[in-house]
Amino acid sequence: MDELKKSNLDEKTIAMAKGLIADAVQKAGSGHPGSAISMTPIVYTLYQYVLRHNPLDPKWEGRDRFILSSGHASLAQYVQLFLAGYLTLDDIKGYRTMNSKTPGHPEYGLTEGIEMTTGPLGQGISTAVGFAMASRFESALLGSDLFSHEVWTLCGEGDIEEGVSGEASSLAGTQKLGNLFAIFDCNRIQIEGDTSITLTEDVLERYKSYGWYTDRVSFETPEGYKEDVQALLRAVKKARKVTDRPHFIQVDTVIAWPTPGKAGSEKTHGSPLGEDAVRALKKELGLDEGRTFQVDPDLLARARGAIKRGEEAERAWMAGFEAWKAQNPEAASLHDRLQAGRLPEGFDKAIDDLEASLSLDPLPTRASSGKALNAIAKVMPELWGGSADLGGSNNTVIEGAASFGPEGSGTKQWPNSGPSGRVVHFGVREFAMGAVTNGILLGSKTRSFGGTFLQFVDYERAAVRLAALMDIPNIFILTHDSVALGEDGPTHQPIEQISSLRAMPNLDVIRPCDAFETCEAWRQIFKKEGTAPSALILTRQKVPALALAKEEVPALALAKEKAKEGLPKGAYVLKGGEEDDVILMASGSEVSLILEASEELEKMGIRARVVSVPCMEWFDRQPLSYRRSVMPEEIGARVAVEAASPMSWYKYVGLSGRCVCIDRFGLQGSGAENMKALGMTVENVVKNALEALREE
């Protein structure tokens, strides 16, 4: 096909796609037509000429990944998914309707061809960094470039303005991610108008300073506005020659072009164009003004050529894959296990052996967690991660492992570094860490984790929420979990964080009480049903193993047995009988406190049931009969104890119960002083138990 005819067919297909976008928003009565219309030439070029993908096999392992960071412009992608063969025209007509495959913002797991949920600006381009890192790591893990692919993301000014994009882009430059490509749709418009009121820096220079390759394509030419697919393709070809840096290509566009009277206007961002404007747009595009959802069958057939190209690419990849598999049986076995989602042989034994080595000596749960993490890492080569510059404090360093990074990027402190490194240094970038680890999970079959102080989960909360929304099994390690951390003071002492995390749907919040519960928490994170993310809440201070026997050997056995049986259920009776008078319940470090309080109550002739509640989400999913066996309805006297906000405990204590918790910010004292001053004492627990008994 000659270049002129090819270019003409591109223009006609792009025009048809713009008409579909305008009609879909108009039919829905809401949406974001402006950016979707002006981004269409970019997304069309990617799906028809750049991306390696197969519409008949959206999960093909060898595909390139595309992430629409500007999720509000979802129709730009949906329409190209329709043209390429992923979706139907009815899907486009169902835009923003209940139970459709085309919601207002792309949703992971709902629509074929959508790699992640986007909409919260900045997170798409940031998570794309994780996708690119995952491709590098998985290729090194399996020893083949077969598992390397390109990661493309399309972003706008709103993405660039969000701080997380800067965090993640800086990290991507440091990592020299040559497989990462970002296209910046620069239309200089956002909801409040011209971006010159909010964004004045030279964005290309900014990305150059991060260590990215940069280029610029402008659709605004001296001869007029021209959506030049060939110019964009030339820029892509040029960028691909640079393999040691991520790539940032700015494309200058006009929002909603060529809608008469509305192109370039912020009013097209989040509202339908209106019937008159849609008709005028169609006239400009050479479409039938009186028809809606018009599709030229010849143009559609040409666009559906993506299917044939995709099948050919997948067949070629599969031939290489079968040859690799035959030559690399050990790596192939690992690959197959990862694809099947199976745990490695020896997983349970690794944890069992660790528990057998534990003593009754007090230990911070962050230290117990580090031991469990390393025990698992020895048998699970796909496990990798790090922390936000807190590796030693969070106990997130995989012992003996290299740092993840480009070859030759080691430092004095971390001399060994490379693509197969399992220790990720995120820097002080909590939000980016959450987004990147989400991307690692979405972009590969490996398992990721990230650690910070519990207080600073507020910085990465939006990424935690997106992990929960997408239902992906990220592991958020959150240490220094209470005022007991001490002299760092109230800025570092979490209060409301645990309850606020528990308020988040589909997030398992786990606060183990000792070394055995911590080990079992790690076991359950990998063995539980479902793929919800986990927030593992851990202490800085030492906590005792909950021994219920006098001799060390039976005490150890009993502590291990109780934790192994009870922790997966979320809450369990640590101590109690059939005729208890009061229930004392707690999580984490406060379980040892209520155990001591129960002994004081016993001296008064009061039988106290001690309930450890490491994970409310798991407990609430248990059958009612089990929940009642742990917290019998007939025992109305209840006391919940946690060195944090009481909000999440009221559902368990009832009207006559008591919460010994903290509803103010922390103090400047030592951990022990803070706990005493804020009521985390045996005396206060006993006092509240007696009051609960009187009011029962």
Catalytic residues, by residue number, are 430
What is the token pair recorded at 432?
């980016």
- For 650, residues 6+ apart whose C-beta sits below 8 A from its C-beta are 657, 659
Residue 521 DSSP SS3: helix
- Give residue 563's identity as a one-letter amino acid code: A
- The answer to whether residues 32 and 122 touch, using CB atoms and an 8 Å cutoff, is no
| 502-527: b (≥16 Cβ within 10 Å) or e | bebeebbbbbbbbbbbbbbbbbbbbe
Point out which residues pair with 425 in neighbouring strands: 387
**Strands (DSSP E) along 436-496, which ranges?**
447-453, 475-479
Alpha-carbon gap, residue 566 to 512, rounded angstroms: 11
- For 630, residues 6+ apart whose C-beta sits below 8 A from its C-beta are 571, 572, 573, 611, 619
Alpha-carbon gap, residue 441 to 443, rounded angstroms: 6
**Strands (DSSP E) along 176-295, which ranges?**
180-186, 189-190, 193-194, 213-218, 220-221, 224-225, 247-252
Alpha-carbon gap, residue 237 to 249, rounded angstroms: 12
Alpha-carbon gap, residue 290 to 625, rounded angstroms: 63
Q: Nearest-CA neighbor of 309 among 485, 63, 596, 71?
A: 63
- For 517, residues 6+ apart whose C-beta sits below 8 A from its C-beta are 365, 563, 567, 612, 614
DSSP tag of 49: I
Point out which residues pair with 584 in neighbouring strands: 610, 639
Residue 30 DSSP SS3: coil
- The answer to whether residues 621 and 649 touch, using CB atoms and an 8 Å cutoff, is no
